[in-house]
Amino acid sequence: MSKPATLGELKNSGYTVLSVKEEIRNNLIRKLRNNEQLFPGIVGYETTVIPALVNAILAKHDIILLGLRGQAKTRLIRQLPSLLDEYIPTIKGSEINDNPFAPVSKYGADQIATFGDETEIEWIRRDQRFSEKLATPDVTIADLIGDIDPIKAATQRLHYSHEGAIHFGLIPRSNRGIFAINELPDLQPRIQVGLFNILEEKDVQIRGFNIRIPLDVFLVFTANPEDYTNRGSIITPLKDRIDSQILTHYPRSLEDAIEITEQEAWITREGMQLHMPYYFKEIIENIAFEARKSEFVDQKSGVSARLTIAAMENLVSNAERRAIVMKEKHIVPRMCDLPHALPGITGKVELVFEGEQEGSLKVGKALIGKATREVFKKYFPDPLKKQKRAPQGQEQKDTSEYAAIVGWFEGGNSVEVADDLPFEAYYAELSRIPTLYAITRKYFKLDESNTYDLASAMEFVLDGLHQNSKIAKDEVDHVTHYKDMVGSIFSNKGKFEDYD
């Protein structure tokens, strides 16, 4: 069915124009009644942020999303246009999407006055009704609201006092739509003052004209609380005029964090089969969890979900590089690949003074170590668990499941693995260690034929023992050397300070 092309046809069709907030509210109600998914791809906000956002929309509020970096604020606001009608009618040629039944611009009023019911109508899509602006200190009132355009005036031979000489800014051009400002505190205070009327009186006033243009705009803002102290702040009168402030947050469960990374990270590599043990996913996510409570990381800046996405992609890429060089068909991450994830970690954490003194690489390695230790505890018995004391006069023996492994290293043995070692040599090197194969199979329940996952898991056990100060580990040029803890300390080659 064709859409009305003139004002007369639109009147005869019985079409009713709603305000943008009423339109969004109605479409939201319909989706709720039909149990439709509101914000695809948004994970972990089901019981917190999304209900608050829904309530604000139902209340027809302007909104600010307040949260640290990497909390999906921008992604959320970019999904709001899905709540708009697919098409709405406007007066053809109108710069500010004039309502055909009640134009607010001089152009729209003139068109109706001249052509009446023959005024041409055009239909604009929902994606054309969303505008977004990143707030920067150089943003001006002219950018957001508008100003006199001397070139337009000269080209059309208009006097500067003529309303046709106005150049409309982004907000008027978003009339009957959604306008979003990212990082609101970065706007200069005097520019923030220019938003007062839009939020409260719902109109704009262009400089030099004694007119007000009533606007129909749904305003959405995002802000990082850290900006309040570092780069700027939201002035109090403006905060007071924003109806609803919604706090975002990082994933609160490991499962949500893993789902986000799986959704966002590019890990499917053509022509090769990826073996990604679940504990690797847990280690990568735990790096971010550890960073968010680390004394070396600035907690006010936050640790973005982009850290785990980049780290996972780097981990898989190093395993892919090895497979390509070794002409193998399977991409299998190893524990010795984890240092290659550091480039995705070090640039995404803001360090406090103590962290800067330690150095970003050392802090990054410490975070990987702590994450490994936490995940190891989920799958294997605690190596540090106290054992029953031997009766007086008898020698105290290590009766833990790791006794044979630790004893083998104490006997002067060692293993050396590297990220460029062919799989057969890698597996053979790890198989030299007594009981390591049996312990790994016992707790991971891996099939004997699943040698790729089994080999990686065997190194995971070794790294877990290292993180619990049972054996030592040296890393030089991405070659990992596991050896006796005590001997390593007395040879001054161990990293005793890292064994916390």
Angle at 102 between CA 98 and CA 106, to 5 degrees: 60
Higher pLDDT among residues 197 and 18, named by residue: 18
Residue 68: what pLDDT? 92
| Fold classified for 261-379 | Helicase, Ruva Protein; domain 3 (1.10.8)
Whether residue 377 has pLDDT greater than 60: yes
- What's the pLDDT tens digit per position in 179-219? 999 999 989 998 999 898 888 888 777 766 666 788 999 99
Q: Where are the alpha helices (DSSP H) in 176-329?
A: 189-193, 196-200, 227-230, 236-241, 254-264, 278-291, 306-325
- pLDDT > 70 in the chain, percent: 88
- What's the pLDDT tens digit per position in 335-363? 999 999 999 999 999 999 888 888 999 99
| Torsion sign over Cα 77, 235, 52, 204 | negative
Whether residue 473 has pLDDT greater than 50: yes
Q: In this structure, which amino acid lies at residue 373?
A: R
Higher pLDDT among residues 168 and 318, named by residue: 318
358 Cα distance to chain centroid: 27
Segment 267-286 shows an average pLDDT of 93
Whether residue 394 has pLDDT greater than 80: no
> How confident is residue 494, by pLDDT bands cut at 50, 70 and 90?
very low
Q: Choose the weakest-confidence range: 114-123, 245-254, 470-479.
A: 470-479
User: Count of residues for the chain?
Assistant: 500
Q: Using alpha carbons, select from 89, 88, 85, 67 the residue that is nearest to residue 76.
A: 67
DSSP letter string, 291-338: HTT-TTB-TTT---THHHHHHHHHHHHHHHHHHHHTT-SEE---GGGG
Average pLDDT, the chain: 89
Residue 183 per-residue DSSP state: S
Whether residue 5 has pLDDT greater than 50: yes
> How confident is residue 98, by pLDDT bands cut at 50, 70 and 90?
very high
Q: What is each CA distance from 482 to 277, 412, 486, in whole angstroms?
A: 22, 11, 12
CATH class of the domain at 7-247: alpha beta
> How confident is residue 491, by pLDDT bands cut at 50, 70 and 90?
low
Query: Residue 420: CB partners within 8 Å, gap ≥ 6?
Result: 322, 325, 326, 478
Cα 14 to Cα 2: distance, rounded to the nearest angstrom: 14
Cα 441 to Cα 5: distance, rounded to the nearest angstrom: 71
Q: Using alpha carbons, select from 367, 437, 368 the residue that is nearest to residue 405.
A: 437
Cα 293 to Cα 303: distance, rounded to the nearest angstrom: 10
| Every domain of the chain and the residues it spans | 7-247, 261-379, 403-498
Q: Using alpha carbons, select from 435, 309, 430, 420 the residue that is nearest to residue 380.
A: 435
Segment 423-439 shows an average pLDDT of 95
Q: In this structure, which amino acid lies at residue 76?
A: L
Q: In this structure, which amino acid lies at residue 145?
A: I
Q: Using alpha carbons, select from 83, 53, 58, 79 the residue that is nearest to residue 245.
A: 53
Model pTM greater than 0.85? yes
Whether residue 228 has pLDDT greater than 80: no
- pLDDT > 90 in the chain, percent: 70
* Of the options 2.30.30, 1.25.10, 1.10.3470, 1.10.10, the CATH number for the domain spanning 403-498: 1.10.10
Segment 242-257 shows an average pLDDT of 95
- What's the pLDDT tens digit per position in 122-163? 999 999 999 999 998 889 888 898 876 666 666 766 655 566
Residue 387: what pLDDT? 60
Residues in a beta bridge with 132? 180
Whether residue 99 has pLDDT greater than 70: yes
Cα 24 to Cα 19: distance, rounded to the nearest angstrom: 9
